[in-house]
């Protein structure tokens, strides 16, 4: 599909595949935004929550797929449901709370009532108003498909979309390498705030942009033991992995951190010994032995030296699995967060972030993770404030006829090749940081935009 835009240009004109450049217009154009809602968010698997948010029958959370409101709930049969949060009668919002527990969903406008699975249950004066032979099954709320992976809840409107594991592809191993380390739970409701920027500015950055950290986040060197001028300390030399499905991760090197934590005695350690010295984010030392039951020795080797740490799940989700200082500036805590960048038109997105801890973590540990997550990546976090200075400008600067023709450039090509013993798939890039995984994100974006997405019937 080579769809024409209203000015006569084609979607294919917005990407220069030979020079690896993208027209900046894609970050602020209302017409392109509407096409995205149809070709990307109506078709892809989108993260909408975590099982620990709805553990009991009747529990629900209100979320979004793209710009469309949905209700995620656990029904009487213990099954997960995802339905459009818009009444089938006159389109009013059905569920008006962010989370809770309810036996049914009732629209306040005319009182129509729906079951957890969206099926119509009844309405006021139904016997008097409805025709006797009325087929009320057609009054059900629109349903989406639901699937989980490592307790993360995904949903899609597309009945023909591939199964979730096929959609994740090679990235499934890396996702399991983070969220499959133990049984996790969310640490309270997600952080939410609105950024005056296009959703893609944040999403494609998480697809592998280590380059910006040493410049935009340079003040981190005042809080962390980082040499401002050492590229290795800014993850510029860490392995990157991209997949054909548009997902990616940077695998942060933990060897030096383990050596410091072990006070210089970090050589000749087993994977479990390394993980005990530096437990993965969200886990305590006591929970580390559980990983030996879940991963092979070869997998543990990677997870203890170069674990997947910064990830992007196409189209708009990201993971951060690392450590940061507490507000006292002296103590450090590793933390695990999952975020989505929810579009609110072409020039705004809602930032929604969950923090995670092991299901049996102590209250004291939970509090330390809560603090470090808010301090670093919350609405006023020292990392997010840096990014919030840049993303709006990128969005705004492409609005005019000159700025709109400016091109985002991804010229840095890396060396592809898996290190010996690498236990997982994907395209692995080693050496100095490159643009390959971000470019892979854009290729997947245009595959969907133009109707050529692998694994999807066109």
The pLDDT value recorded for residue 444 is 98
The verdict on 131 and 241 lying in the same domain is no
Distance between CA atoms of 42 and 47, rounded to whole angstroms? 13
Residue pair 407/24 in contact (Cβ under 8 Å)? The answer is: yes
State the pLDDT at residue 118.
Answer: 98
Structure token digits, residue 428: 């692995």
What confidence tens digit (pLDDT) does each residue in 180-215 have? Answer: 999 999 999 999 999 999 999 999 999 998 887 777
Enter the tokens of residue 345.
């038109």
**Residue 79: CATH number of its domain:** 2.102.10.10
The answer to the question of residue 23 being in a domain is no
Compute the distance between CA of residue 346 and CA of residue 357 in angstroms, rounded to an integer.
Answer: 34
Cα distances from 157 to residues 49, 84, 288, 383, 457, in angstroms, run 16, 10, 38, 34, 14
- For residues 323 and 350, membership in a common domain is answered with yes
User: Is the residue at 270 inside a domain?
Assistant: yes
If you count them, how many residues does the chain have?
A: 458
Judge if 142 and 180 occupy the same domain.
no
What's the pLDDT score for residue 228?
67
Give Cα separations from 98 to 61, 101, 113, 359 (angstroms). 6, 11, 18, 22
- Structure confidence by residue, pLDDT tens digits, 144-181: 999 999 999 999 999 999 999 999 999 999 999 999 99
Closest CA to 365 of 271, 285, 303, 273: 285
Task: Identify the bridge partners of residue 351 per DSSP, sorted by sequence position.
Answer: 193, 341
Alpha-carbon span 190 to 418, nearest angstrom:
36
- Classify residue 1: in a domain, yes or no: no
User: What is the CA 297 to chain-centroid distance, rounded?
Assistant: 28
Beta strands 15-16 and 21-23: pairing type?
Answer: antiparallel
User: 271 and 354: one domain?
Assistant: yes
Is 91 a member of any domain?
yes
Q: Which of 138, 157, 176 is the last residue of a domain?
A: 157
Structural domain boundaries enclosing 119: 46-157
Q: Cα 447 from chain centroid?
A: 19
22, with CB counted inside 10 A (0-12, 13-18, 19+), is: buried
Looking at residue 258, its pLDDT comes to 85
Q: Quick one: 61 and 192 in the same domain?
A: no
Same domain, 127 and 197: no
Please tell me whether residues 334 and 399 are part of one structural domain.
yes
pLDDT of residue 175: 98
Distances (CA, A) of 436 to 172, 210, 257, 413, 414: 19, 12, 27, 6, 7
Q: Considering 157, 192, 218, which residue would you say is the last residue of a domain?
A: 157
Instruction: Look up the CATH number of the domain holding residue 200.
Output: 3.90.380.10
| Any domain includes 243 | yes
Query: Does some domain include residue 306?
Result: yes
User: Using an 8 Å Cβ cutoff, are 368 and 330 in contact?
Assistant: no
Question: How far apart (Å, rounded) are the C-alpha atoms in residues 454 and 95?
Answer: 35
Cα 384 to chain center, whole Å?
Answer: 15
- Give mean pLDDT in consecutive 10-residue pieces for the chain, a chain of 458 residues: 81 96 94 97 98 98 98 96 98 98 97 98 94 94 98 97 97 98 95 95 93 74 66 77 97 85 77 92 92 97 96 97 63 83 97 95 90 77 81 90 89 93 96 93 97 80
Contacts for 219-223: CB closer than 8 Å, 24+ residues apart: 219/382, 219/386, 220/382, 220/383, 223/324, 223/325, 223/329, 223/382
Domain assignment of residue 163, yes or no: no
Query: Does residue 230 share a domain with residue 139?
Result: no
Cα-trace Rg, the chain:
23
* Same domain? 173 vs 149: no
Q: Are residues 122 and 173 in the same domain?
A: no
Last residue of a domain, one of 157, 192, 222: 157
Q: Give how many domains the chain has, as a whole number.
A: 2
Residues 187 and 310 grouped into a single domain: yes
Residues 110 and 174 in one domain: no
First-to-final CA distance of the chain: 9
Contact between 65 and 41 (Cβ < 8 Å): yes
d(CA 200, CA 207): 10
pLDDT at 4: 84
Domain contains 59 = yes
């Amino acid at each position: 599909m080579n769809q024409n835009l209203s000015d006569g240009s084609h979607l294919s004109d917005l990407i220069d595949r030979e020079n690896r450049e993208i027209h900046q217009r894609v970050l602020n154009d209302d017409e392109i935004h509407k096409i995205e809602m149809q070709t990307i968010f109506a078709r892809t698997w989108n993260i909408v929550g975590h099982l620990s948010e709805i553990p009991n029958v009747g529990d629900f959370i209100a979320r979004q797929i793209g710009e469309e409101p949905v209700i995620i709930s656990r029904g009487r049969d213990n099954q997960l449901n995802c339905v459009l949060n818009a009444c089938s009668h006159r389109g009013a919002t059905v569920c008006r709370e962010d989370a809770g527990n309810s036996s049914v969903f009732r629209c306040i406008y005319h009182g129509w009532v729906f079951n957890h699975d969206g099926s119509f249950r009844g309405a006021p004066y139904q016997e008097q108003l409805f025709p006797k032979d009325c087929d009320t099954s057609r009054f059900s709320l629109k349903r989406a498909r639901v699937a989980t992976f490592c307790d993360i809840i995904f949903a899609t409107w597309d009945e023909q979309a591939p199964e979730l594991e096929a959609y994740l592809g090679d990235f499934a191993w890396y996702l399991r390498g983070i969220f499959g380390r133990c049984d996790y739970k969310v640490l309270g409701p997600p952080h939410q705030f609105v950024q005056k920027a296009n959703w893609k500015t944040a999403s494609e950055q998480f697809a592998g942009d280590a380059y910006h950290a040493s410049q935009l986040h340079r003040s981190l060197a005042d809080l962390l033991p980082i040499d401002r001028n050492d590229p290795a300390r800014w993850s510029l030399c860490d392995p990157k992995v991209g997949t054909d499905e548009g997902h990616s991760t940077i695998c942060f090197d933990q060897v030096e951190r383990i050596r410091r934590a072990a006070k210089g005695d970090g050589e000749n350690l087993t994977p479990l010994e390394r993980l005990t010295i530096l437990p993965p984010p969200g886990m305590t030392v006591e929970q580390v032995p559980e990983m030996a039951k879940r991963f092979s020795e070869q997998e543990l080797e990677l997870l203890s030296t170069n674990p997947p740490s910064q990830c992007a799940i196409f189209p708009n989700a990201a993971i951060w699995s690392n450590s940061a200082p507490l507000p006292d500036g002296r103590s450090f805590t590793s933390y695990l967060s999952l975020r989505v960048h929810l579009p609110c038109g072409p020039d705004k997105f809602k930032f929604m972030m969950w923090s995670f801890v092991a299901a049996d973590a102590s209250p004291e540990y939970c509090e330390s993770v809560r603090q470090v997550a808010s301090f670093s990546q919350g609405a006023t976090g020292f990392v997010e404030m840096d990014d919030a200075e840049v993303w709006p400008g990128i969005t705004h600067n492409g609005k005019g006829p000159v700025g709109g023709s400016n091109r985002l450039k991804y010229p840095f090509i890396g060396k592809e090749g898996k290190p010996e013993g690498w236990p997982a798939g994907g395209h692995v890039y080693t050496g100095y940081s490159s643009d390959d995984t971000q470019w892979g994100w854009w290729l997947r974006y245009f595959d969907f935009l133009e109707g050529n997405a692998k694994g999807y019937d066109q």
